[in-house]
Amino acid sequence: MDWKELSSSAQLAELHKKSFERPLVIFKHSTRCSISSMAKSRLERSNSPEEIDFYYLDLIRYRPLSDQIAKDFDVWHESPQILIIENGACIYDESHTGINMAEILTSISR
């Protein structure tokens, strides 16, 4: 898994633009939560396709950015949470034990 760290509003704006070129995944991770650690580990053990960029947000460290993501993409804040962003919109979100690579891949339009 090649995580790209998400840590600023400027990056989020760039990510929004980039989503018109290719699908993006944002993983909102709570470093204080064992369920979040389990979900992250499960993703890291899966094969991740090269045509999808995976972004990692430490929501404890960057809580205002996590709140901005919830607002910008019209989703409830959850932790852990996975969002698929395509064409500027969140097309899929899942949380907790529902996070898995098979569902991510099924949800991405090709």
Q: What's the pLDDT tens digit per position in 72-95? A: 999 998 889 999 999 999 999 999
Q: Can you give the pTM of this predicted structure? A: 0.93
Report whether pLDDT(1) > 60. Answer: yes
Beta pairing partners, 84: 25, 92
pLDDT the model gives residue 82: 96
pLDDT the model gives residue 109: 59
Residue range of the domain that includes 82: 3-107
At 36, which CATH number? 3.40.30.10
Give the start-end residues of each E strand in 6-101. Answer: 24-29, 53-58, 81-86, 89-95
Q: How many domains does the chain have?
A: 1
- Residues 40-55 have a mean pLDDT of 91
Percentage of the chain beyond pLDDT 70 is: 98
- Residues 19-48 have a mean pLDDT of 93
Residue 84 φ then ψ, to 5°: -105, 125
pLDDT the model gives residue 32: 92
